[in-house]
Structure 1
């Protein structure tokens, strides 16, 4: 488990549940809307593209981990004026620190969908908690059809057998982009991010005694809430986690994001 989370109390129910994540892509004539729903997040991004340039970015957060997270909605508008290509999301380390990791990834995925001419689609991911041997099972469905199945042990791939031993961190993104077709690489990256976020299920991260962001100095500069003034002022939100082990809620329409 992540060393950054060990100061949270352990979740006594961990090992019996399933982490679930849904990412929805809705194409528009002038851009795309991308929405994320999982145990810890409910947010969306609307990208407008004109003449190959990002002309507008609007985001909204309904559920998020830190009290400072909504400030990243405004920060995301710094993407306006960039080329509407996936390479536009190659942020410098300083830029990444001033942005929400999840909002930027939604924007990157949305641009990739547009560039490839993909239709509106829904990705749903289910990942079991680790068992006593560190084994997890991941299933990724695309519009309800199986698209990716992993068996993992200690966050390394056991199955598919052709990728046995491939770790999910420490260069995974570069490996995926160099090894897999772009559309498939994006699915693998979405699955990898699910494994990363699901680490939080082992802990009670939204308890009644919120912790300050500054109590995790090793994460300074990691994202919007761990950078700038937010690092000293932000706290955990309480009661924001939704255990979706029993299944994701019914798919709703993806409204255009609003500020």
Structure 2
């Protein structure tokens, strides 16, 4: 869930998913960001809260900055990925009048068959994609496009404005949902450097931050179950414990 609320010179954004809950407040003068605040409520590593300070890099950003410009030059890797995405959404809504917008994305776990993933804005379905192994199978116009790498390149060719924003929320939710394949709670207290494939990909996994960081406990909002039984997730398949 992503909730964005616009007021007079301020935009509040709230993210809640399986592994994260965060808030961001952007203040502006109608043209540029004048102040920015962040809050981490549920986070997967002990390094995540310090990423709030890096948001100050966005002070002075124009509200009409194109979305792709935020992500050029590897800028997002210096931030918490999810807090940065939330801040970008808030900034892009700064030009709007007072009001609110809510995104709800649903990404089921893949087993042996394709699954339908959806995103709604204010209870209206915007996108429904049939996917398997990170690849879109339906609708035909999007068939063959992938969600893991190169998403921004093809998505900006197919969508614009609100449709692009909704597509981005859905793709990010799909990426986050991959974490449900692992028993993350069992790693609580262990060094995050064990997850070597994440090295350098975000604030927490930057070399200077990861060395002293550990996985947290209690960050998962929804414990996976299958017909009332505990399950484990491995390589995209569900196995009952």
Q: Please report the TM-score for the alignment, with normalisation by the length of structure 2.
A: 0.85
**CA shift for structure 1 position 96:** 2.8
Q: 1:90 pairs with 71, 75, 78, which one? A: 71
Inter-partner Cα distance in structure 2 for 1:97 and 1:181: 24
Aligned residue number for residue 228 of structure 2: none
Query: For the Cα contact (< 8 Å) 1:41–1:63, is it kept in 2?
Result: yes
Query: For the Cα contact (< 8 Å) 2:106–2:117, is it kept in 1?
Result: yes
Inter-partner Cα distance in structure 1 for 2:63 and 2:72: 14
Aligned positions of 1:8-27 closer than 5 A: 22-27=1-6
Change (3 A) 1:156 1:196: same
Aligned residue number for residue 84 of structure 2: 104
Paired residues in the alignment total: 223
Q: 1:68 pairs with 37, 43, 47, which one? A: 47
Inter-partner Cα distance in structure 2 for 1:245 and 1:118: 37
**CA shift for structure 1 position 91:** 4.9
Q: 1:185 pairs with 135, 149, 164, which one? A: 164
Aligned residue number for residue 103 of structure 2: 123
Q: Please report the TM-score for the alignment, with normalisation by the length of structure 1.
A: 0.79
Inter-partner Cα distance in structure 2 for 1:46 and 1:226: 24
Q: Could you list the per-position Cα deviations for residues 42-71 of structure 1 after superposition, in whole angstroms to 9, with x for gaps in the alignment?
A: 111000112511100001011001011000
SS in 2 for 1:175: helix
Aligned residue number for residue 14 of structure 1: none
Inter-partner Cα distance in structure 2 for 1:227 and 1:204: 23
Q: Does 1:47 align with 2:22?
A: no
Any unmatched runs of 5+ in structure 2?
226-241
Change (3 A) 1:228 1:177: same
Relative CO higher for 1 or 2, CA cutoff 8 Å, sep ≥ 6?
A: 1
Inter-partner Cα distance in structure 2 for 1:127 and 1:218: 23
**CA shift for structure 1 position 209:** 4.6
Q: Could you list the per-position Cα deviations for residues 59-94 of structure 1 after superposition, in whole angstroms to 9, with x for gaps in the alignment?
A: 10110010110001112122112222334623532x
Inter-partner Cα distance in structure 2 for 1:45 and 1:169: 25
Query: For the Cα contact (< 8 Å) 1:52–1:84, is it kept in 2?
Result: yes
Aligned positions of 1:223-234 closer than 5 A: 223-234=202-213
C-alpha root-mean-square deviation of aligned residues, in Å?
A: 2.1
